[in-house]
A and B are shown apart, each in its own frame.
Chain A
Amino acid sequence: MSHSDKFDVIVIGAGHNGLAAAATLAKRGKKVCVLERTNAIGGMAQSRDNDGTSVPYIAHLLHNLNPTVVKELGLSSAIKLKELPTIALDPDGRHIEIAGNKAQYTDGSAHPDAAIYEEIRARIIKFGQLLEPMAARTAPDLSEGASFAGLPELMPLAKLGLKMKLMGKKEMREFMRIALSNVYDLILDDMEDGVLAGSLAADSVWGMWTGPRSPGTVLSLMYRYCTGGQSSLPIGGMGAISHAIADVAKNNGAQIRTNSAAEKLVVEDDQVTGVVLKDGTTIETKAVMSSAGAFQSMMIGGHENFDVEAVRRLRNVRSKGTTAKVNIVLKDVPEIAGLSDSQMASRLLIAPSAYYIEQAFNAIKYGEMPPAPVIEAVIPSLSDTSIAASGKHVLSAVVQYIPYYLEGGWNDKARNKLTKIVVDTLSKYAPDLRDKIDYTETLSPADIEQETGAPGGHWHHCEFSTDQMLAVRPVNLLARYAFGIKGFYLCGASAHPGGDVSGLAGRNSALQLIKDGAAS
């Protein structure tokens, strides 16, 4: 390999975060190479084409694509989003349509809890937006003189950085009161449990090993809503987002190499100098960013290069996925009684009460699939004909809680059972669904791990909980992207601020790398 092939930065993984990191660096003149293990870019944010029907392979809706990332990378003209209202499905047919903070029955009549719902949701969004600046920068450094009891550290910081005072005393006190509590109590203090309550509770637990009664769920709901809480469908499919980011990187000179798994770093005198690929090739570089999981990144760096305590923590990062993906290709659109054609194109939610969600969560504790899972479904082909040239339709379903460690293990039989549970659950609302199915594709958390490398198939790569958040994400003392070895950075969902298709982890990490002068 000639000398001119030396890169400033090699990014491991072409998920959207790796790509956002590469684009951020390339825009600042860095010579960047992205290495992707699989034959496609996007990671968990990609579309897969099956006979002219494009399915959102894993992630399907945007709710947290960060505006700063969009602006900095100049993505706004390259991507097209369609905001979708949520239809919270009711087993008794009294479905609720939620647009922004407004909720009403799908027939247009008023919901008795609409006002209180609006108040709660608006407040969570407001608090979430206060937290957003914390997400859009490197996690605070608490190593000087602080003890890591975890979240309580957030309070003084929140006070400090987040213009909390401007909210007034009452609101500030309210933030302190609820931030560490659970969503179940928060919502049901003011509302009847039911479809509307369920819709809020569901948004606090996606991808996580928590139920609405678990502490920390109010905080995760704030994070989920930190850019406004709106769900949008990416036109052209989820893959279009990853490709738009990849284009920014490429247009600024970055290389992206698929089928190139990074195996090991070359480390000389505690400084990264290269990456060895699985095929044995070595590429020279000044710095490396990894969007693989935290533990996986440590292994790429070589565990011998990490301190004993760091290895122990990284071995114990909690990342057991709880979410499965079922993609159903349809010959035709099914019907749900009470929903208009345009309402069918909404984000469809099966989470008929907070209690229902908590029940579904119980099963996973014993390695079982819940008979009645929580489902977020969307039929993107109704909004975006470009993805269904075949004339077919796609129902994309994110299914929770499905255990990574299934009792008896994951195999075809288990996968078929999961498909059946999902189809049965959906059929309660759309009885003609079964007849319209062309074929299904089911990915358990174990399959997602297999396909994307995400540890445990976890939505966030690293459980998004107070002990793995902010200054302790993924672990204490490695929370500021710099990852032990000089020139090595973590840049995927397992880093601060966490998962979702947001681009922040990749972008923040790249900025930190530049600030540290690691690629100069």
Chain B
Amino acid sequence: MRKPAKKTEKRFTPQKTQTTPFHPRTNQFNLMQNWDDWAGYLAANVYESFEKEYFAIRNQSTLLDISPMCKYRIKGPDARKVLDRVVIRNVKKIRTGRVGYTLWCDEEGMTIDDGTIFRFGKQDFMLLCAEHMYSWLQDAAWGYDVEVIDESHNICGLALQGPTSYSVIKEAGFKGVETMKPFDLREVEPGLWLSRTGYTGDLGYEFLTENKNALKLWDRLWKAGRQNWGLIPIGLEALELVRLETGFIAPGVDFQAAHAVSRVGRGRTPFELGFGKLVDFNKGHFNGRRALLEHQKNGKRYNLVKLDIEDKYPADSSYVYVGKEKHIGFVTSAAWSPTTKRNIALAELEAPYGDTIRDGIWVEVYVDKEGKWYRINAKATVVDGSFFSNPRTRQTPPGPF
């Protein structure tokens, strides 16, 4: 499951911020009462302590209320066709009982959002994403024998992530989960869908169920995890750090969602975001295909890359340079990664910097030392693959760790 968009401009929320079905519990744990608005819902930033939550994700197990995610059910005889029309990857290859990560573009090949496709059945899918997409999906479905249903407000989601998450699930009495491989999806109990997916790059699972089952699910996991497996709830701040360690991108932060910008040239292609490999030109027409073929021919304009930066100061909002002082881009997300002990960042560079030219790149980091600002020039190395990775993430059956 992906993190929410961190918006600079807040979208119009038609009513008072909503609470999710888990609110009676999340509210009780939120000692700080530190809430943010996530797609119109109250979402905890931090429950108690950011550090405690972050380390729990990497060493224990954690619960994150992901109910605010947008959830679009797409079902009917043409459901697969409609999704294939929308997204860049081949949906045929996502079998029933599997989840697939993908991006989708507008007609100009600019990324609208990224998200995950859950395939419940031959003709039954759910698209989960950060951006509101209902009317656009309605347009995409026009002329097809399909139903697009916005289930964002009837279905809740709970992510259970961390090395001991499998143990929690087992202790909670869910059967047969040991055979679930990464990206597997199952109705583990009637009305309760479980997938082995997540945003942490670590072992983890996500539950989807109707709102009415929310508290029962929370309490069951809580009871199973509290005693032996170090289960605690986590908020958006910890989520932000782990998603960056994993190298996941966020709309509104690392790229601008095509529907959210009005200025020309702000959109980015999947190639430029590093997801060129997902684009399947052989599956028939899909949105933006012709434009993407042009982009492929003309080459990338930008490269969104992972940077490993010398020195310890997070390179938030830094400019990126090459050589003497040639400005080539800027940092979109940055943090000190405690687990990998690296100073990491995502940065957008002008192509071909970041792919064919990687030498001599450095960032200008701004450091505030008790009210006094310092400027540090730090060398940066382009990193392939995710910053954080651990074999336990993929091991099946998972161990207790």
Is the C-beta of A312 less than 8 angstroms from some C-beta in chain B?
Answer: yes
**Candidates A145, A304, A308; contact of B139 at CB < 8 Å:** A308
- Smallest CB–CB gap between A340 and chain B, Å? 58
In the complex formed, the residue of B with least CB distance to A310 is B107
Q: Is A304 a contact of B81 with CB atoms below 8 Å?
A: yes
> Which residue in chain A gives the minimum CB-CB distance to B78?
A304
Do the beta carbons of A308 and B290 come within 8 Å of each other?
no
> Would A311 and B139 be within 8 Å (CB), given that A270-B285, A270-B290, A304-B81 are in contact?
yes
A309 on interface, CB distance cutoff 8 Å = yes
Task: For the complex formed, measure the closest distance between the CB of A254 and the CB atoms of chain B, giving whole angstroms.
Answer: 30
Give the distance in Å from the alpha carbon of A312 to the alpha carbon of B136 in the complex.
Answer: 9
Contact B81 A145 (CB under 8 A): no
Please determine whether A309 and B106 come into contact, CB atoms closer than 8 angstroms: yes
The answer for the CA separation of A95 and B289 in the assembled complex, in Å, is: 60
Residue of A nearest to B86 (CB): A308
Q: State how many angstroms separate the Cβ of A297 from the closest Cβ of chain B.
A: 15
Residue of chain B at shortest CB distance from A476: B107
Q: How far is the CA of A22 from the CA of B290 in the complex (A)?
A: 27
Task: Flag if B265 contacts A145 (CB, 8 Å).
Answer: yes
- A312, B139: Cβ atoms closer than 8 Å: yes
With A308-B140, A311-B139: A145-B85 Cβ-Cβ less than 8 Å: no
A477 is an interface residue with CB less than 8 A from chain B: yes
- Of chain B, the residue at the smallest CB distance from A311 is B142
B385 at interface, CB cutoff 8 A: no
Q: Is A305 an interface residue when CB atoms closer than 8 A count as contact?
A: yes
CA–CA, A477 to B288, complex, Å? 12
A146 to B265, CA, bound (A): 10
B143 at the A interface (CB under 8 A): yes
CB-CB < 8 A to B86: which residues of A? 308
- Please indicate the chain A residues that have their CB under 8 angstroms from the CB of B143 in the complex: 303-304, 311
Residues of chain A in range 310-331 having any CB-CB distance to chain B below 8 Å: 310-312, 315
Q: Which residues on the A side are within 8 Å of B290 (C-beta)?
A: 270, 307, 484
Q: Are A315 and B264 in contact (CB under 8 A)?
A: no
- B287 on interface, CB distance cutoff 8 Å: yes
- For the complex formed, measure the closest distance between the CB of A162 and the CB atoms of chain B, giving whole angstroms: 25
Which of B106, B107, B136, B264 has the most CB atoms of chain A within a 10 A radius of its CB? B107
A303 to B289 CA separation, bound complex (whole angstroms): 14
Q: How many residues of A contact B (CB 8 A)?
A: 17
The reply to whether A304 and B285 contact each other, CB–CB distance below 8 Å, is: yes
Q: How far is the CB of B279 from chain A (nearest CB, A)?
A: 14
Q: Which residues of B contact A306 (CB under 8 A)?
A: 285
B283-299 toward A: CB 8 Å interface, digit per residue (1/0)? 00101111000000000
CB proximity to B under 8 Å, residues A383-422:
none
Using a CB-CB cutoff of 8 Å, which residues 79-105 of chain B contact chain A?
Answer: 81, 85-86
Contact B287 A307 (CB under 8 A): yes
**B81 neighbours in A (Cβ, 8 Å):** 304
**Which residues of A are found within 8 Å of B285, using beta-carbon distances?**
270, 304-306
Chain B residue numbers with a CB within 8 Å of A311 are 139, 142-143
Provide the bound-state CA to CA distance between A142 and B289, in Å: 20
B contact residues around A310 at 8 Å (CB): 107
> Which residues of chain B from 263 to 303 have any CB-CB distance to chain A below 8 Å in the complex?
264-265, 285, 287-290
A303 to B140, CA, bound (A): 10
Q: Is A147 an interface residue (CB 8 A)?
A: yes
Instruction: Determine the interface band of chain B, counting residues with CB < 8 A from chain A.
Output: 10 to 19
Per a CB cutoff under 8 Å, which of B107, B264, B265, B289 touches A309?
A: B107
Give every chain B residue within 8 A of A304 (Cβ-Cβ): 81, 85, 143, 285
Tell whether A307 pairs with B288 under 8 Å between CB atoms, given A145-B265, A147-B264. Answer: yes
Residues on the B chain within 8 Å of A147, using CB: 262, 264
Do residues B289 and A270 form an inter-chain contact, with CB atoms below 8 A? Answer: yes
Interface residues in B129-167 (C-beta closer than 8 Å to A): 136, 139-140, 142-143
Please measure, in the bound complex, the distance between the C-alpha atom of A421 and the C-alpha atom of B361, giving whole angstroms.
Answer: 79
Docked Cα-Cα span, A461 to B285, in Å, equals 27
Contact A315 B85 (CB under 8 A): no
Least CB distance, A310 to chain B, in whole angstroms? 6
Q: Within the assembled complex, what's the spacing in Å between the Cα atoms of A55 and B81?
A: 49
Whole-angstrom distance from the CB of B336 to the nearest CB of chain A?
40
Cα–Cα, bound, A309→B85 (Å): 12
Which of A145, A315, A477 is the one whose CB lies under 8 Å from B142? A315
Q: Cβ of B289 and Cβ of A477 under 8 Å apart? A: no
Q: Tell me whether B264 and A308 are in contact (CB under 8 A).
A: no
Q: Does the CB pair A309–B139 fall under 8 Å?
A: yes
Contacts of A305 in B (CB 8 A): 285
The interface centre, meaning the residue of A146, A306, A308 with most chain B CB atoms within 10 A of its CB, is: A308
Q: How far is the CA of A145 from the CA of B106 in the complex (A)?
A: 17
A24 to chain B, nearest CB (A): 26
Interface contact A307-B142, CB-CB below 8 Å: no
With A270-B290, A308-B287 in contact, do A303 and B142 touch (Cβ < 8 Å)? yes
Give the residue name and chain of the B residue nearest to A302 (CB). Answer: B285
Cβ-closest chain A residue relative to B85: A304
Task: Kindly state the separation between the CA atoms of A145 and B265 in the bound complex, as whole angstroms.
Answer: 8
Chain A: which residue is nearest B137 at the CB level?
A: A308
A166 to chain B, nearest CB (A): 32
The smallest beta-carbon distance between B262 and chain A, in angstroms, is 8
CB atoms of A308 and B265 under 8 A apart: no
Complex CA gap A484/B288 in Å reads 11
Closest residue to B143 on the A side, CB-wise? A303
Verify A308–B136 contact, CB threshold 8 A: yes
Closest Cβ of chain A: how far from B285's Cβ, in Å? 5
Q: Give complex CA distance A310, B291 in Å.
A: 13
CA distance A309 to B139 in the complex (A): 8
B84 → chain A closest CB, angstroms: 10
The chain A residue sitting closest to B264, CB to CB, is A145
Chain B residue with Cβ nearest A307: B107
The interface residues of chain B lying within 8 Å CB-to-CB of A270 are 285, 289-290
Q: Which residues of B contact A303 (CB under 8 A)?
A: 142-143
Nearest CB of B to A143, in Å:
8
- Nearest Cβ in chain A — how far from B36, in angstroms? 31
Check if A308 sits within 8 Å of B85, measured CB to CB: yes
Measured CA separation A484–B143 after assembly (Å): 17
Binary contact track B208-250/A, C-beta < 8 Å → 1, others 0: 0000000000000000000000000000000000000000000
From A146, which residue of chain B is reached at the shortest CB distance?
A: B264
CA distance A308 to B107 in the complex (A): 7
A348–B143 CA distance with the chains assembled, in angstroms: 46
The complex places the Cα of A484 from the Cα of B289 at a distance, in Å, of: 11
Q: What's the Cα separation between A305 and B84 when bound, in Å?
A: 12
Instruction: Tell me the complex Cα distance, A240–B287, Å.
Output: 45
Interface flags for A138-171 (1: CB within 8 Å of B; 0: not) read: 0000000111000000000000000000000000
Residues in A with CB closer than 8 Å to B106 are 307-309
* A477 engages B107 (CB within 8 Å): yes
A309 to B105, CA, bound (A): 11
Residues 456-489 of A at the B interface (beta carbon under 8 Å): 477, 484
Output the least CB separation between B299 and chain A (Å). 16
Q: How far is the CA of A147 from the CA of B262 in the complex (A)?
A: 9
Q: How far does the Cβ of A485 sit from chain B's closest Cβ, in whole Å?
A: 8
Complex: A484 Cα to B86 Cα, angstroms: 16
The closest CB in chain A to the CB of B293 belongs to: A270
* Chain B contacts for A484, CB-based, 8 A: 290
Best-buried of A147, A307, A310 by chain B (most CB within 10 Å): A307
A128 to B31 alpha-carbon distance, docked (Å): 72
**Distance (Å) between the CB of B85 and the closest chain A CB?**
6
A145 CA to B139 CA in the complex, in Å?
26
Task: Give CA–CA (A145, B285) in the complex, Å.
Answer: 26
Knowing that A303-B143, A309-B139, A310-B107 touch, tell me 11 more A-B residue pairs with CB under 8 angstroms: A145-B264, A270-B289, A304-B85, A304-B143, A306-B285, A307-B106, A307-B107, A307-B287, A307-B288, A308-B85, A311-B143
Pick the 10 closest A-B CB pairs, nearest first: A307-B107, A309-B107, A308-B140, A312-B139, A303-B143, A305-B285, A308-B139, A308-B287, A307-B287, A145-B264
A-B contact pairs, 23 of them (CB 8 A): A146-B264, A147-B264, A270-B289, A270-B290, A303-B143, A304-B81, A304-B143, A304-B285, A306-B285, A307-B106, A307-B288, A308-B85, A308-B107, A308-B136, A308-B287, A309-B107, A309-B139, A310-B107, A311-B143, A312-B139, A312-B142, A315-B142, A484-B290
